């Protein structure tokens, strides 16, 4: 009986994946090309895929970091930026850029646009799907570039790699920490919640639903179910038949969601350092609150925005100060697995 149910679920998910791909194909019409440098993409290159809106402040460091890791080419979708993001990106030699003024929310938070681009350009490549406020790190990232990781994953017959999103915050009120574009944001946002994560396994997609961190502690203590999802699967050896289901938290086919061991062992995983709480968030929250583009059920998140607009201090005496990936590994937030 269980096997039958599983087969039925697999069949339903197959159709769901097809729907998502079809939907992405339709949303492709909404994109207008700005610069297309995809002819530079060579066989075996690792790609980045990002949707941005007004991220001029974060982009210099974002690009710098991921270039250094070994991302060879970036696919960007600009969603109606008006702060110079578009111009900045179109000047970058390794960026291909599309733009659209359509709704971010109706594009499943940018996923439809990216899925369309990935199907076209990322087939057969390892692809890192990120937001502009996410900095990807993994065990040994300071000495081993991304190609070392992806090669090793392939040797181990893994097609995807998971990462926990770690909300980084400063000590003191958010707005009191000035930031210069290009700087490492984690000089100031150097604190995080080290051990309050809650995990459930989703029976349908078989991914882990991880919640917790500072946002659950400070903003969603009274309604934990609504706390943001922290588990992501940003790095995938892409195939044009793949599709992310909700943000990069889960994808189809669901075998790609198996970025964890369930036999008691540990497998290698990474971290997304989240620079959401940079000083600019205070102003941006007011805007986001009125745009209502960020959550499926935006009304429920008004209080959350109000708290952010209030410029809170997220720091607690038990916060952990960020030192290095080794520290995160020792704390059990990510794992080397057997990649030593």
Partner 1 sequence: MLVHTAFDRAEQVARHWAAAGCPLVIHADKGVPKPAYDAFKKSLSDLPAVRFSKRHRCEWGTWGLVAATQGAAELMLNDFPDVRHVYLASGSCLPLRPVQELIDYLADRPQTDFIESATTADVPWTIGGLDHERFTLRFPFSWRKHRYLFDRYVALQRAVGYRRRIPNGIVPHMGSQWWCLTRQTLSAILSDPERSAYDRYFKSVWIPDESYFQTLVRQYSRQIESRSLTLSKFDYQGKPHIFYDDHLQLLRRSDCFVARKIWPFADRLYNAFLSDNAGAMKRTEPNPGKIDRIFAKAVERRTRGRPGLLMQSRFPVEGRENGLTCAQYSVFEGFSDLFENFETWLAKITGTRVHGHLFAPERAEFSDGQTVMNGALSDSATLRDYNPRAFLASLIWNTRGERQCFQMGPRDHIKNLEWDLAKDPNAQISVITGAWAVPLFKSNANFSDIRKEAARLQQVESKHLDVLRSPWTKARVRIWTMAEFIEAPMEPLQTIIDEIGQQNLRGLSEVPRMSDLSGFGQFLQNLKNQGMHPYLMGDFPVAHDPHEPPHNKPKPYLVQ
Q: Which residues bind partner 1 (CB under 8 A)?
A: 140, 143-145, 147-148, 151-152, 155-156, 162-164, 193-201, 208, 210, 212, 214, 216-217, 221-225, 231, 259-269, 316-320, 332-340
- C-beta of 23 vs 226, nearer to partner 1: 226
- 44 torsion bin: left (phi>0), alpha (psi -120 to 50), beta (else): left
- C-beta of 188 vs 207, nearer to partner 1: 207
At 52, is the secondary structure helix, strand, or coil? strand
CB of 313 to partner 1, least distance (A): 13
Interacting residues of 176 by C-beta distance below 8 A, sequence separation 6+: 170, 279
- C-beta of 145 vs 312, nearer to partner 1: 145
CA torsion sign, 269 to 276 to 75 to 91? Answer: negative
- C-beta of 110 vs 162, nearer to partner 1: 162
CB of 189 to partner 1, least distance (A): 15
CB of 38 to partner 1, least distance (A): 25
With beta carbons less than 8 A apart as the criterion, state whether 320 and 196 touch: no
Residue with tokens 């679920």: 9
With beta carbons less than 8 A apart as the criterion, state whether 227 and 216 touch: yes
CB of 243 to partner 1, least distance (A): 22
CB of 61 to partner 1, least distance (A): 24
| DSSP for 133-171, written as a single string | TEEEE-TTTTTS-HHHHHHHHHHTT--EEEEEEEE-B-S
- C-beta of 90 vs 246, nearer to partner 1: 246
With beta carbons less than 8 A apart as the criterion, state whether 172 and 282 touch: no
- C-beta of 49 vs 267, nearer to partner 1: 267
Tokens representing residue 309 in the block: 């607009």
CB of 304 to partner 1, least distance (A): 15
Return the closest-CA partner of residue 320 out of 140, 136, 188, 195: 195
Side-chain half-sphere CA neighbours of 202 within 13 A: 20
CB of 143 to partner 1, least distance (A): 4
- C-beta of 72 vs 210, nearer to partner 1: 210
Q: What is the CA radius of gyration of the chain?
A: 19
């Amino acid at each position: 009986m269980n096997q039958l149910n599983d087969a039925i679920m697999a069949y339903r998910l197959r159709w769901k994946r097809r729907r998502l791909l079809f939907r992405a194909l339709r949303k492709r019409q909404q994109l207008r090309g700005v610069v297309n440098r995809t002819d530079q993409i060579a066989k075996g290159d690792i790609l980045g895929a990002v949707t941005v809106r007004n991220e001029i402040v974060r982009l210099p460091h974002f690009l710098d970091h991921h270039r250094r890791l070994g991302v060879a080419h970036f696919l960007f979708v600009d969603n109606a930026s008006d702060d110079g993001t578009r111009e900045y990106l179109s000047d970058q030699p390794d960026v291909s850029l599309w733009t659209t003024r359509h709704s971010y929310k109706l594009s499943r938070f940018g996923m439809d646009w990216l899925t369309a681009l990935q199907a076209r350009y990322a087939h057969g490549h390892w692809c890192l799907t990120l937001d502009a406020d996410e900095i990807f790190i993994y065990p040994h990232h300071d000495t081993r570039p991304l190609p070392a990781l992806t090669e090793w994953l392939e040797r181990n017959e893994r097609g995807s790699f998971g990462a926990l999103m770690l909300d980084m915050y400063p000590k003191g009120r958010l707005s009191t920490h000035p930031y210069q574009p290009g700087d490492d944001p984690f000089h100031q946002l150097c604190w995080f919640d080290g051990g309050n994560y809650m995990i459930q396994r989703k029976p349908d997609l078989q991914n882990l639903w991880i919640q917790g961190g500072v946002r659950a502690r400070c903003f969603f203590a009274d309604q934990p179910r609504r706390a943001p999802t922290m588990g992501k699967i940003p790095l995938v050896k892409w195939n044009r038949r793949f599709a992310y289901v909700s943000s990069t938290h889960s994808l189809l086919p669901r075998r790609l969601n198996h970025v964890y061991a369930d036999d008691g062992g540990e497998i290698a995983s990474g971290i997304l350092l989240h620079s959401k709480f940079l000083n600019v968030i205070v102003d941006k929250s007011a805007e986001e609150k009125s745009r209502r583009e960020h959550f499926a059920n935006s009304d429920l998140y008004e209080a959350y925005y109000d708290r952010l607009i209030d410029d809170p201090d997220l720091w607690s005496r038990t916060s952990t100060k960020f030192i290095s990936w080794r520290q995160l590994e020792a704390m059990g937030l990510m794992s080397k697995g057997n990649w030593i």
